[in-house]
Structure 1
Amino acid sequence: MKIYNNILETIGNTPLVRLNRLTKDVKATVLAKVETTNPGNSVKDRMAVKMIEDAEKAGWIKPGGTVIEGTSGNTGMGLALACIIKGYKLICVLNDKQSKEKMDILRAVGAEVVVCPTAVEPSDPRSYYSVSKRLATEIPNSWYVNQYDNLSNREAHYESTGPEIWEQTEGKITHFIVGVGTGGTISGVGKYLKEKNPNIKIWGIDTYGSVFKKYKETGVFDENEIYPYITEGIGEDILPANVDFDIIDRFEKVTDKDAANYTRRLAREEGIFVGNSAGAAIGGLLQLKDELKEDDVVVVLFHDHGSRYVGKIFNDDWMRERGFLEEDIKTAGDLIAKHSDQPLVTLYAEELVSHAIASIRKYDISQIPVIKDGTFVGSIDESTLFSLLIDNPELRDASISSVMNASFPVVKETATLEEVSKLINKETHAVLVEKKDGKFHIVTKFDIISALS
């Protein structure tokens, strides 16, 4: 019988898959190293086990002890599997931008999850770096993994991921591309590949809001480069010891929007259901495609599984809220499609200004059409109300008809985006769209901006 003694023995030997549709305009052969077939569904399984086993050899973790780590979720999953098999407790410290799916998965495999705020300095006592270190000092018989500076991280990829890629490509690889977070994967794989062939190019994918690219190019750690971003698993506001900048030939930054959309396209066009950093890696590859030749063999590593992002990247509403959804909006009907199931909020001309204020608060909207005898006769918007009430608070008890602005223009749902845009200006804040069924919906400046961004 061909069996494994435990789940940890199934880590590694992940497939190399040719990409076809997304890379059709790339001259080189593009191959994806799909790490989702690891038991924890990510590349991090490799280094998680290596770090624990090296800690055991060094005597840093004792039987029945507690493993503590700050993680974006994937390292936590790898550690969880190792802890289950080896009999350790696990505490995972995450920042609050990580997907709910990642947190739920960690709890499902027995980890205790502690959530920290994202938008704080690494040295802040609330950061997930600081909380991880603090817990390790407070809990007896515990060990703080520190994947960022624990060099067993990159050693794992030097020992396993790098040799696999070299063997699978029969030594023909010319470029290795991967998103960079802790730096273990790119540095370990890169070291192995460059020892085999120093001409192989190692390209790291970074994100806007991270320090890596500028530091590589200038040697300057610029805090002005640091700001919150959405892409998970890559980029940092620190310089982890595992990032070997001498191994990495260049960094390329990819926007949150492009990373998200290429992640979705990988699923729909290649049938590869992977996570956010994979989309960033493909985005970076396509930005650099003009530097590739026909005989080049490019390996792009995909870190983790798409199931960890179903509530975010693969959720249309989440994407739309952030302006990431690539929608083909050409008409007024397209503009109202996302809220066409919601009735238009209106006010009667005879109502009081205080009623208008209540409606704006209740529905969290900025402007409301005013009707009389079934006809649109005016409009009310929050900026007008604000100006009026600052000067004359007693107007709260006046009728809306006495303070309302002109009625919003009305267009058919077939009106073009350009036609609607021209109607919205400094004086006119919205347009009403009449559908074929006779119902009306509103288009605001925000709708136009979202469609054009």
Structure 2
Amino acid sequence: MKYAKNILETIGNTPLVQLNKITKDVNAHILAKVETFNPGNSVKDRMAIKMIEDAEADGRLKPGGTIIEGTSGNTGMGLALGAIVKGYKLICVISDKQSKEKMDILRAVGAEVVVCPTDVEPTDPRSYYSVSKRLATETPNAWYVNQYDNPSNATAHYEQTGPEIWEQTEGKVTHFIVGVGTGGTISGVGKYLKEKNPNIKIWGIDTYGSVFKKYHETGIFDENEIYSYITEGIGEDILPKNVDFSVIDGFTKVTDKDAAVYTRRLAVEEGIFVGNSAGAAVKGLLQLKDHFKPDDVVVVLFHDSGSRYVGKMFNDDWMRECGFLDEEITTAADLVKKYEHKPLVVARTEELASHAIDRMRKHKVTQIPVMDADGVAGSINETKLFDSYVADKAIADKPIKDIMGKPYPIVEATTSLDEVAKLINNDNQAVLVALPNNKHHIITKHDIVSAIQ
């Protein structure tokens, strides 16, 4: 009988799949290394088990111990499989930008999940780097994995992923393209392939908000390049020790929008349901197409499964809220389409100003229309409230009608974007659009700016 003795023995030997439609304009043979076929549905299974086994071998991880790691989700899943089979506890520290699906999956396989804010410095005590290190010192019999600097990460890909690609292409691979996060995949595979053939080109996919590309090209770690981004699993605001820049020939950056759009395209055009970093990788490949020749064999690695992004890239409402759906916006109705199902936040003429302030705070809006029994009676915004407060500190206890401004203009749903934009100025902060069933919604400067493609 042929069977695996446990789930860990099914890791690796993932298929190489030809891409056809999405890369039809690329004059080369394009193959995808689809890592979702690993049992934890990502490439991270390989290095997670390698790191565990190496830590067991040298005594860092002891029987009955607790594994602690900061993860974007996929490494945590690989560690969870190892923890289950080998009898360890697992604590995963994850940033709040990661998909809910990733957090739910980690909890489903027995991991304790600690969520940290994304928009903090790596050295901030609240960051997932800092929290994972702190937990490792506070937890008895704990082992801090540190995938960013753990050499077993890159070694796993040198020993496994690289040789698989070489054998599957019969040594004909000419380019390897992959998203770069911890750096283990690109460094391990790149090292192995260049030892086999120094002419093989290794390309990294980076994202805007990350430091890799500029650092590789200039040697400068530019903190001004660091800002929040949406793409998961690639890019960093640190330089992990696992990133071996010497084996990388170059980087190309991919926008959040392109990563999301091409993730969806891979599903509908190739039938390959993969994650956000795969969309970034295939878009990066298309950006690099002038580097390829007809006889080249280009291998691009797809990290993880699309199932971890169902609430994000594969959700139209989420894509629309991010401005990632290429919907033509030409009318007032188009501008409010993404939230027309939500009730309009309003104030009443006889309400106290404090009520309106509370409502604006709760809904995170800066201006709202004021209504009376006959309809729209006026408007209130944070500038008006501020000016009124400066003039009279007791403003909170006064009725809205005493401080409200003039009503916002009301336009028809078919009013053009240009006409709406002309109505919004320093004296008039918003416009109301009349919708069916006697409903209204508000259009602000933010909505106009968001419509700019």
Q: Structure 2 length as normaliser, TM-score? A: 0.89
Amino acid at match of 1:240: P
Deviation at 1:408, TM superposition (A): 3.1
1:160 to 2:160 alignment: yes
1:338 to 2:342 alignment: no
Residue 182 of structure 2: aligned partner: 182
Report the CA distance shift for 1:22/1:347 in structure 2 as closer, same or farther (over 3 A): same
Q: 1-side partners of 2:2 and 2:297: how far apart?
A: 34
Residue 61 of structure 1: aligned partner: 61
Query: Which sections of structure 2, spanning at least 5 residues, go unmatched?
Result: none
Q: 2-side partners of 1:136 and 1:371: how far apart?
A: 56
Report the CA distance shift for 1:141/1:407 in structure 2 as closer, same or farther (over 3 A): closer
Residue 194 of structure 1: aligned partner: 194
Provide the secondary structure at the position in 2 that maps to 1:176.
strand
Q: 1-side partners of 2:440 and 2:92: how far apart?
A: 50
Residue 223 of structure 1: aligned partner: 223
Residue 83 of structure 2: aligned partner: 83
Deviation at 1:430, TM superposition (A): 2.1
Amino acid at match of 1:70: G
Report the CA distance shift for 1:415/1:120 in structure 2 as closer, same or farther (over 3 A): closer
Of the structure 1 ranges 150-159 and 61-70, higher mean CA displacement relative to structure 2 is found in 61-70
Residue 42 of structure 1: aligned partner: 42
Residue 205 of structure 1: aligned partner: 205
Q: Give the 5 Å matches for 1:10-409.
A: 10-344=10-344, 360=360, 364-369=364-369, 374=374, 376=376, 378-392=378-392, 404-409=404-409
Q: 2-side partners of 1:362 and 1:246: how far apart?
A: 51
CA contact under 8 A between 2:99 and 2:308: conserved in structure 1? yes
Q: 2-side partners of 1:396 and 1:131: how far apart?
A: 41
Report the CA distance shift for 1:75/1:367 in structure 2 as closer, same or farther (over 3 A): closer
Q: 2-side partners of 1:371 and 1:69: how far apart?
A: 53
Report the CA distance shift for 1:359/1:160 in structure 2 as closer, same or farther (over 3 A): closer
Deviation at 1:89, TM superposition (A): 2.3
Report the CA distance shift for 1:2/1:347 in structure 2 as closer, same or farther (over 3 A): closer
Q: 1-side partners of 2:124 and 2:357: how far apart?
A: 41
Residue 450 of structure 2: aligned partner: 450
Of the structure 1 ranges 341-350 and 87-96, higher mean CA displacement relative to structure 2 is found in 341-350
Provide the secondary structure at the position in 2 that maps to 1:246.
helix
Report the CA distance shift for 1:434/1:177 in structure 2 as closer, same or farther (over 3 A): same
Deviation at 1:349, TM superposition (A): 6.5
Amino acid at match of 1:419: E
Provide the secondary structure at the position in 2 that maps to 1:17.
strand
Report the CA distance shift for 1:106/1:419 in structure 2 as closer, same or farther (over 3 A): same
Deviation at 1:168, TM superposition (A): 2.0
Provide the secondary structure at the position in 1 that maps to 2:77.
helix
Deviations 1:138-193 (A, max 9, x none): 44433222222222211111121112112222322221111111111001111121
Deviations 1:233-271 (A, max 9, x none): 112222222211110001112222322222233223322
Of the structure 1 ranges 242-251 and 272-281, higher mean CA displacement relative to structure 2 is found in 272-281
Of the structure 1 ranges 182-191 and 67-76, higher mean CA displacement relative to structure 2 is found in 67-76
Q: 1-side partners of 2:395 and 2:62: how far apart?
A: 73
Deviation at 1:34, TM superposition (A): 0.9
Provide the secondary structure at the position in 2 that maps to 1:452.
coil
CA contact under 8 A between 2:47 and 2:152: conserved in structure 1? yes
CA contact under 8 A between 2:317 and 2:338: conserved in structure 1? no
Deviation at 1:196, TM superposition (A): 2.0
Deviations 1:388-428 (A, max 9, x none): 34224577787766765444333322222223222222323
Deviation at 1:307, TM superposition (A): 1.6
Amino acid at match of 1:209: G
Q: Percent same amino acid at aligned positions?
A: 73
Provide the secondary structure at the position in 2 that maps to 1:60.
coil
Deviations 1:306-347 (A, max 9, x none): 222223333344444444443322222212222323444556
Q: 2-side partners of 1:96 and 1:424: how far apart?
A: 35
The count of corresponding residues between Structure 1 and Structure 2 is: 453
Amino acid at match of 2:56: E
CA contact under 8 A between 2:352 and 2:398: conserved in structure 1? yes
Residue 427 of structure 1: aligned partner: 427
Provide the secondary structure at the position in 1 that maps to 2:53.
helix
Report the CA distance shift for 1:87/1:218 in structure 2 as closer, same or farther (over 3 A): same
Of the structure 1 ranges 258-267 and 79-88, higher mean CA displacement relative to structure 2 is found in 258-267
Report the CA distance shift for 1:23/1:370 in structure 2 as closer, same or farther (over 3 A): same
Deviation at 1:74, TM superposition (A): 1.0
Deviation at 1:443, TM superposition (A): 1.9
Of the structure 1 ranges 100-109 and 378-387, higher mean CA displacement relative to structure 2 is found in 378-387
Residue 7 of structure 1: aligned partner: 7
Deviation at 1:35, TM superposition (A): 0.4
Provide the secondary structure at the position in 1 that maps to 2:259.
helix
Deviation at 1:137, TM superposition (A): 3.7
Amino acid at match of 2:101: E
Q: 2-side partners of 1:346 and 1:437: how far apart?
A: 17
Provide the secondary structure at the position in 2 that maps to 1:240.
coil
Q: 1-side partners of 2:190 and 2:196: how far apart?
A: 10
Provide the secondary structure at the position in 1 that maps to 2:336.
helix
Amino acid at match of 1:428: N
Residue 411 of structure 1: aligned partner: 411
Deviation at 1:40, TM superposition (A): 0.5
Q: 2-side partners of 1:342 and 1:227: how far apart?
A: 30
Of the structure 1 ranges 136-145 and 387-396, higher mean CA displacement relative to structure 2 is found in 387-396
Deviations 1:69-103 (A, max 9, x none): 22221111111111221222222222333222222
Query: Which sections of structure 1, spanning at least 5 residues, go unmatched?
Result: none
CA contact under 8 A between 2:321 and 2:338: conserved in structure 1? no
